[in-house]
Structure 1
Amino acid sequence: MTAVESIPVIDIASWISGDTGAERAIADRVDAACREIGFFLVTGHSVSEGIQRTLYDEARRFFDLPDSVKSLAHDAGDEMGGLVFLPLEREALAGTQGVIGPGDYKESLNYGAGLPGGRWPAGSAALREAFITYFAAMETLSKTMREIFCLAIGLPRDCFEEDFAGHLSALRVINYPEQPQPLAEGQVRAGAHTDYGFLTILRSEDTPGGLQVQGRGGAWIDAPAVEGAFIINIGDAFMRWTNGVWRSTPHRVVNPPAKAGRGSRRQSIPFFLNPRADTVINCLEPFLGEGGEALCPPITYADYIALKTRQANG
């Protein structure tokens, strides 16, 4: 395992190719990363750059539309697999950590095959296809990651699969606009928070004002930009499953330097892997420890995500 500014980079190509002789080493590296910082980068994941670029470009075209057009893709609606647009400052992610302040300076498009949303706007067929294709690629990669996690923990490789039948995963494209004028006091692109679910797979880009991860000592670490890599982090639900041994680490997206100008626009694509609603999150046996006690009581994923969402949206 190599480390870039304390966040490890792990090549999983041999796992995907079926090289069983390399599986143990990969699982051990993932286990160490999850215990130490809760973040790591994966290369060799086999997700094509074309799939990634298509969604990036189609979403960017949407974000460049006038606000009056974007607002038509609002968050009201019960169409399964619909589209949800959240405008600037709608979310305040630091609220999930009890910090009250201005909304985050970002806007987003949100989709989940098993989640409700509004109707897709007219003329958005290419955007919808890009979301569906990328979502499917993330389902494949996340299944690989679940198998790696199971080996790392010492569980059968299909241990989590029943929990993810009918999963409630979400795919989001986030636009962080340039900041030609100073923001409100304390306002940032995305406030410090932890992710709610099982894990997050992030496609990021190397622009000013990026992702930072909080190290064990409290210092903020810039997440590295590695060509072709995805950033993966553990979410709160998975941390509960591991009795707090694997870490759901606070992270944030900071503002660009004041003089960054036109090169400071940023766009990222996180995939949030979530179990199905009635999945009970309870401590896995290998993490019970000598006392045999769980730090948190059992809770369904539906109840847990409802609580976290209320905190984020005030």
Structure 2
Amino acid sequence: MEDSGALIPVIDFDHLGLQRESKNIDKTELKNVGGLMKDAFTRVGFCYLKNHGIDQDLVDKYLDISREFFSQSVEEKMKHVRGTEKNFGWVAVEREKLNPERPGDLKEAFNYHPADDPNDWPTAEFQQASREMFLRCTELSHRVCDALSVGLGLGENFMRNAHKSVGKKENSTTIRSLYYPPISQDSNIKPGQIRLGEHSDYGTITLLFQDDIGGLEVEIPGKGFVPATPIPGTIVVNIGDLMQRWTADTMVATKHRVLIPEVEFKKRKPRQSVVFFVHPDDDYMVECLDGSRKYEPISSLDYLNYRFSVTY
């Protein structure tokens, strides 16, 4: 299996990162980075971003607090189970199957959307860390969208305007803490069951923060599945199906998965990640940018609901 190093590009986001004030963003750098991102998403659908400006201490704190929640009994976690009306709360092991041809995924999750916040959290610390992560991810996703807009020749504010309501009830962007429980020798693993089934994401872009356990694999065209090895200080960014549709298949929403590790000591350790799923505003009509009408126009929310109907 090939290493991802030469296949998934690492893009330096230093001149556009959150460590820079927005008024000091260099337009030439915006164009340069946008071009690199467009190329990465056209070829492989994924890239790493370094020097993005989200503090690692915040990420670590969010992972630590999340892990405390996931380590509780099922009875305790059920008090905060995700319902059907709001995108908030705990999702149990095997509740989702992102590849419908496999058994349920060996993962748990906790979803947070600010507009669906019931103010009934397991702890105040979990609530505060979730809010902080959502805010910082929102800020970074806007800058990624700005660069991508310029890279696509659409003008700096095109994609930001399509995502202007992130964090409000009229936009479905969500942050998700993922927990993959340890797998012991006596775990009852079903035939074909893995930690996260092969799938592509649903929306525009996804920001992914990995721990050091690894396990994520990305299906590179012509190469098969390759490991997206964790690189300290970076985040993984990929596009979703809606962006592929938006660009009339110019960009590719690449399938990815998380297998059960072959190495025994990694099986015995939990894996964690944080995912920020970015969607256009619910009523935004996504039409092919090249005017081809290769796909019929569809609202962001209608497309998301269609994808959810297949997953659950």
Contact 1:239 1:245 (C-alpha < 8 Å) held by counterparts: yes
CA 162–254 in structure 1, closer or farther in 2 if over 3 Å, else same = same
CA distance in 2, matches of 1:35, 1:78: 36
Q: How much does 1:22 deviate?
A: 2.9
Aligned residues: 296
The correspondence of residues 67-216 of structure 1 with structure 2, limited to 5 A, is: 67-76=74-83, 83-95=88-100, 100-114=101-115, 116=116, 120-121=120-121, 123-166=122-165, 167-180=171-184, 181-207=187-213, 210-216=215-221
- What residue identity is the alignment partner of 2:256? H
- Is the counterpart of residue 228 in structure 1 residue 227 in structure 2? no
Equivalent residue number for residue 252 of structure 1 = 257
Q: How much does 1:118 deviate?
A: 5.6
CA 76–182 in structure 1, closer or farther in 2 if over 3 Å, else same = closer
The percent identity for this pair of structures is 26
Q: How much does 1:20 deviate?
A: 3.7
Contact 2:162 2:280 (C-alpha < 8 Å) held by counterparts: yes
- What residue identity is the alignment partner of 2:15? S
- What residue identity is the alignment partner of 2:163? F
- Is the counterpart of residue 41 in structure 1 residue 48 in structure 2? yes
Q: How much does 1:161 deviate?
A: 2.8
TM-score when normalising by structure 1: 0.89
Q: How much does 1:182 deviate?
A: 5.0
Range that drifts further, 216-225 or 69-78: 69-78
1:217 to 207, 217, 222: 222
State the 4+ residue runs in structure 1 displaced beyond 4 angstroms.
Answer: none
The correspondence of residues 296-307 of structure 1 with structure 2, limited to 5 A, is: 296-307=295-306
CA distance in 1, matches of 2:89, 2:118: 6
CA distance in 1, matches of 2:295, 2:84: 34
CA distance in 2, matches of 1:216, 1:201: 21
Equivalent residue number for residue 32 of structure 1 = 39
Deviations 1:163-197 (A, max 9, x none): 21322210000100111125100100010000001
Q: How much does 1:246 deviate?
A: 0.8
- What residue identity is the alignment partner of 2:218? V
Q: How much does 1:275 deviate?
A: 1.4
Structure 1 gap ranges (5+): none
CA distance in 1, matches of 2:139, 2:35: 21
Structure 2 gap ranges (5+): 166-170
TM-score when normalising by structure 2: 0.90
Contact 1:75 1:117 (C-alpha < 8 Å) held by counterparts: no
Range that drifts further, 211-220 or 141-150: 211-220
2:40 aligns to what SS in structure 1? helix
1:185 aligns to what SS in structure 2? coil
1:51 aligns to what SS in structure 2? helix
Q: How much does 1:159 deviate?
A: 0.8
1:226 aligns to what SS in structure 2? coil
- What residue identity is the alignment partner of 2:139? T
1:93 aligns to what SS in structure 2? coil
CA 245–221 in structure 1, closer or farther in 2 if over 3 Å, else same = same
Range that drifts further, 48-57 or 35-44: 48-57
Contact 2:163 2:281 (C-alpha < 8 Å) held by counterparts: yes
Report the aligned-residue RMSD: 1.8
